[in-house]
């Protein structure tokens, strides 16, 4: 059973094609991660699911229904930029947003969430007095207080410190466990890898990846060597059969050409320096992202 | 509570709970009444500095009478009879012999005015008593620096013409004593219409209308209407612009339809106007009741006033909201505020002609144009001239249609513009949004 189904959806703004022939199916009670470079069409896709933007062509079904010109109280939405009335008090604005979604027991839900996010002491204060992290948590509560069945989060973890990010992450996982379908966009590949049942990547308006992390990684095979060497990245230059080297400082990732033998590469490296870590692995999501949207990929596309 | 009312209630609370609203509520009538008081005070501020006037009488027959008339005036008309205080300037007349070169003499006297030795000079043409074909000789001319606002010219015409009549009678050989009331001036009194007492059937005498009352009623109604539009509708531009720029609009339109969002905000603005107008109307009635002047409360006009006000706030409020949704920053808002305000301001610029002739074709036509109806129709209805019964209803119908159209178009522009960031849309883009939605 799918919570969201998009079929051949296209959306343009003037001459810019923001989303191009996109098809997507989001299973119920799953966490679906949207990744992609800035301006690739993630937010536009979320807004179309939210029914804020209408597609130029194609169909979008949410809970099996096509909506147009009406809001859907079963969907909670956290926009990329925080939208809170600065002069309203925290509890007051959360109740307002909850009631706008026809939420049940809004007052009790608001107090529960404030307590969970350790914001009870701030409930009577104006939004303008909150820190950025607090505002983000308040905005998150506004999205979930009406107990939506589908939750759309546009970059929910951006700008949060690790403690608050953990609190938010746990809240999202708890909601999923309770049956909520969650779609969120993120630039943090680690978050996407760890949290999402499904990952979808959009690039220049087109879908370029869609599936579980395993499915996506299996398409690329075990073409990556993760290595730690005494002399660092300098010792790994001009290795035969290596297409690229990504230097993370203590660790480097080498991408092998198709048909290349890792044993020969290891022997070549051992001849140059001491090796203290060697691992043949599948590419990380970060690496896959860069392969698709990085400068080399863009140059290759231009050529 | 329905979502539209949730939006309206928030908008209402956000406005009326501010210090600005409460201060504005108190300050607006004070400023208005302060303005009226200032007008009254300034009208009493007459310059009582004596006026030095030279008279060149080329007939040789009028100056003496003029001097006599001025002396009478200086003795009897320039002092308050009760207090004895001087309330008008005295005139000092200096009779000057006519020179042969009239042009040179005019220049010399003009220079004396420029040198502040004189305030003005009067030149009486040689053939004024019996006008000849030479127009230069048949005129009485008053020369001064401020040709628009010199009350000397207005006053002096009367003693000169009085003397001219006397001279013409004498020259015709008619004895003035045979017609002693010949020079008695009879003014025309201003009266209102005669009415019938509804209970007794008796014909009442017409009241002599007080000019201040005739003007005050319509002006108060118009100013109140203007204030209510400014309090309820105009702030929506700023409010929507803030919601757009602070990305609040994106959260709201994820919960309600854009049309409902606009309508909710307009209803909130309307509630603000109704609150403020109720305070003012109730306050005004209480003041009049305390002063024993309840007969001046226009009870029959109040339902019309409130109906017009409701439609005006809906009409202008949705326009302001649509314009606000197209603004990306305060600079945009400043630029677009003026065209958005014009339909509200135009009636204020033409109050004078409407007030002078509330039943005329000009007033009637303009008051039937929907954006002008709330201010101009209520002004005409509160004037002493009877407005045909069909006109308010036609005006109301036009406003109703225009209000529905405004909300519909405003909603369409709002929906397209509210998430449009980065640059100010051109007028053509706004029109496109209004048409395509």
Pairing of strands A242-247, A252-256: antiparallel
Q: Which pLDDT value is given to residue A262?
A: 87
**Percent of chain A clearing pLDDT 70 (strictly above):** 97
Q: Which pLDDT value is given to residue A70?
A: 59
Facing A70 at nearest CB: one of B7, B246, B257: B257
Q: Which pLDDT value is given to residue A303?
A: 64
Give the length of chain B. Answer: 437
Average pLDDT over every residue of A8-29: 90
Please give the residue of chain B at the shortest CA–CA distance from A80: B247
Which of A201, A217, A233 corresponds to the end of one domain?
A217
Is A290 among the domain residues?
no
Q: Which pLDDT value is given to residue A69?
A: 60
Contacts of B279 (CB under 8 A, 6+ apart): B25
Which of A217, A250, A273 corresponds to the end of one domain?
A217
Average pLDDT over every residue of A282-295: 83
Contacts of A118 (CB under 8 A, 6+ apart): none
Report whether pLDDT(A191) > 60: yes
Is A299 among the domain residues?
no
When divided into structural domains, chain A yields a total of 2
Query: What domains appear along chain B, each with residue ranges and CATH number?
Result: 51-178 (3.40.190), 211-436 (no CATH)
Which of A217, A250, A269 corresponds to the end of one domain?
A217
Is A295 among the domain residues?
no
Backbone angles phi, psi at B195, to 5 degrees: -125, 165
Contacts of A293 (CB under 8 A, 6+ apart): A36, A37, A40, A203
Q: Are the C-beta atoms of B399 and B312 separated by less than 8 Å?
A: yes
Q: Are residues A271 and A168 in the same domain?
A: no
Chain A residues touching B250 at Cβ < 8 A: 47, 52, 79, 81, 83
Contacts of A214 (CB under 8 A, 6+ apart): none
Furthest CA-CA distance within chain A: 69
Q: Are residues A56 and A146 in the same domain?
A: yes
Q: Which pLDDT value is given to residue B262?
A: 87
Q: Which pLDDT value is given to residue A68?
A: 65
H/E stretch holding B210 reads none
Quote the domain boundaries for residue A262. Answer: 222-281
pTM: 0.74
Is A61 among the domain residues?
yes
Q: Are residues A66 and A152 in the same domain?
A: yes
Is A242 among the domain residues?
yes
Residues in chain B, pLDDT under 50: none
The CATH code of the domain that includes A231 is: 3.30.70.100
* Chain A contacts in chain B segment 391-420 (CB below 8 A): 419
Is A289 among the domain residues?
no
Is A298 among the domain residues?
no
Q: Are residues A165 and A208 in the same domain?
A: yes
Q: Kindly report the average pLDDT of chain A as a whole number.
A: 88
Average pLDDT over every residue of A127-139: 91
Structure token pair of residue A1: 């059973």
Interface contact flag, B6 A87, Cβ < 8 Å: no
Q: Are residues A212 and A226 in the same domain?
A: no
Picking from A177-181, A299-303, B108-112, B139-143, which range would have the lowest pLDDT averaged per residue? A299-303
Q: Are residues A233 and A131 in the same domain?
A: no
CA distance A21 to A61: 15
Q: Are residues A17 and A70 in the same domain?
A: yes
Chain B residues touching A87 at Cβ < 8 A: 14
Q: Which pLDDT value is given to residue B210?
A: 65
Q: Which residues lie across from A16 on neighbouring strands?
A: A13
Interface contact flag, B251 A142, Cβ < 8 Å: yes
The CATH code of the domain that includes A53 is: 3.40.50.300
Q: Are residues A227 and A211 in the same domain?
A: no
Q: Are residues A208 and A117 in the same domain?
A: yes
Report whether pLDDT(A168) > 80: yes
Query: What distance in Å separates residue B401's CA from the closest CA in chain A?
Result: 23
Chain A residues touching B249 at Cβ < 8 A: 83
Report whether pLDDT(A170) > 90: yes
How would you class A110 by CB atoms within 10 Å of its CB: exposed for 0-12, middle for 13-18, buried for 19 or more?
buried
Average pLDDT over every residue of A92-116: 91
A interface with B, Cβ–Cβ below 8 Å: 47, 50, 52-53, 69-71, 73, 75, 77, 79, 81-88, 96-97, 99-102, 139, 142
Which of B20, B254, B428 would best serve as a mutation to test chain A binding (most A beta carbons within 10 A)? Answer: B254
CA distance A233 to A247: 6
Q: Are residues A211 and A238 in the same domain?
A: no
Chain B residues touching A49 at Cβ < 8 A: none
Report whether pLDDT(A265) > 60: yes
Is A300 among the domain residues?
no
ipTM entry: 0.80
Q: Are residues A108 and A137 in the same domain?
A: yes
> For A179, how many CA atoms within 13 A lie in the half-sphere containing its CB?
5
Interface contact flag, B248 A84, Cβ < 8 Å: yes
Q: Are residues A233 and A157 in the same domain?
A: no
Judged by a CB distance cut-off of 8 A, whether residue B104 touches chain A is no
Tens digits of per-residue pLDDT, A45-73?
998 998 888 888 999 999 888 876 656 78
């Amino acid at each position: 059973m799918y919570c969201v189904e998009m079929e051949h959806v296209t959306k343009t703004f003037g001459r810019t094609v923001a989303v191009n022939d996109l098809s997507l199916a989001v299973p119920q009670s799953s966490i679906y991660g949207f990744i992609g470079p800035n301006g690739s069409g993630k937010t536009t896709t979320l807004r179309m699911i939210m029914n804020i933007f209408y597609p130029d062509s194609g169909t979008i079904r949410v809970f099996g229904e096509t909506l147009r010109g009406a809001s859907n109280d079963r969907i909670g939405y956290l926009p990329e930029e925080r939208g809170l009335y600065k002069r309203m008090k925290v509890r007051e604005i959360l109740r307002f947003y909850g009631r706008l979604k026809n939420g049940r027991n809004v007052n009790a839900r608001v107090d529960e969430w404030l307590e969970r996010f350790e914001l009870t002491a701030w409930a009577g204060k104006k939004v303008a007095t909150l820190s950025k992290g607090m505002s983000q948590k308040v905005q998150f509560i506004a999205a979930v207080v009406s107990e939506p069945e589908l939750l759309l989060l546009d970059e929910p973890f951006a700008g949060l410190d690790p403690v608050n990010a953990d609190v938010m992450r746990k809240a999202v996982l708890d909601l999923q466990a309770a049956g909520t379908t969650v779609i969120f966009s993120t630039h943090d590949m680690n978050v996407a890898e760890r949290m999402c049942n499904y990952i979808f990547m959009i690039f220049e308006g087109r879908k370029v990846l869609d599936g579980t992390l395993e499915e996506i990684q299996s398409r690329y095979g075990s073409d990556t060597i993760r290595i730690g060497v005494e002399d660092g990245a300098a010792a790994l230059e001009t290795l035969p059969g290596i297409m690229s080297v990504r230097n993370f400082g203590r660790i480097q990732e080498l991408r092998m050409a198709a048909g290349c033998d890792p044993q020969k590469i290891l022997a070549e490296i051992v001849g140059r320096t001491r090796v203290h870590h060697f691992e043949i692995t599948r590419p990380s999501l970060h690496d896959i992202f860069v392969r698709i949207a990085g400068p080399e990929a863009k140059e290759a596309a231009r050529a | 509570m329905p979502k539209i009312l949730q939006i309206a209630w928030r908008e209402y609370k956000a406005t009326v709970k501010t210090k600005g609203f409460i201060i504005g509520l108190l300050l607006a009538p004070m400023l208005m009444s302060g303005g009226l008081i200032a007008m009254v005070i300034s009208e009493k501020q007459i310059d009582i500095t004596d006026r030095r006037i030279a008279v060149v009488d080329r007939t040789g027959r009028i100056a003496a009478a003029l001097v006599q008339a001025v002396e009478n005036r200086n003795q009897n008309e320039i002092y308050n009879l009760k207090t004895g205080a001087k309330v008008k300037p005295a005139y000092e007349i200096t009779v000057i012999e006519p020179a042969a070169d009239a042009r040179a003499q005019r220049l010399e006297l003009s220079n004396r005015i420029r040198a502040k030795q004189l305030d003005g000079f009067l030149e009486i043409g040689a053939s004024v008593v019996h006008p000849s074909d030479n127009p230069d000789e048949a005129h009485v001319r008053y020369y001064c620096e401020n040709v628009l606002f010199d009350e000397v010219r207005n006053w002096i015409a009367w003693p000169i013409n009085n003397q001219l009549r006397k001279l013409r009678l004498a020259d015709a050989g008619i004895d003035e004593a045979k017609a002693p009331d010949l020079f008695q001036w009879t003014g025309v009194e201003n009266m209102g219409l005669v009415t019938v007492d509804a209970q007794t059937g008796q014909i009442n005498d017409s009241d002599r209308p007080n000019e201040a009352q005739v003007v005050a009623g319509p002006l108060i109604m118009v100013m109140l209407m203007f204030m209510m539009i400014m309090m309820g509708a105009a702030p929506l531009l700023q409010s929507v612009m803030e919601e757009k720029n602070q990305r609040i609009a994106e959260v709201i339109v994820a919960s309600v339809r854009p049309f409902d969002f606009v309508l909710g905000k307009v209803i909130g603005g309307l509630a603000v106007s109704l609150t403020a107008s109720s305070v003012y109307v109730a306050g005004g009635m209480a003041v009049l009741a305390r002063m024993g002047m309840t007969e001046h409360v226009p009870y029959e006009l109040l339902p019309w006033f409130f109906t017009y006000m409701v439609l005006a706030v809906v009409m202008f409020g949705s326009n302001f909201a649509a314009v606000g949704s197209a603004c990306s920053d305060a600079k945009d808002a400043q630029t677009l505020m003026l065209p958005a305000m014009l339909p509200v301001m135009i009636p204020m610029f033409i109050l004078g002609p409407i007030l002078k002739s509330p039943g005329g074709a000009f007033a009637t036509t303009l008051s039937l144009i929907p954006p002008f109806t709330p201010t101009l129709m209520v002004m005409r209805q509160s004037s002493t001239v009877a407005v045909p019964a069909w006109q308010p209803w036609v005006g109301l119908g036009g406003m109703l249609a225009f209000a529905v159209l405004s909300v519909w178009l405003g909603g369409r522009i709002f929906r397209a513009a509210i998430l449009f960031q980065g640059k100010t849309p051109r007028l053509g883009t706004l029109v496109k949004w209004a048409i395509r939605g």
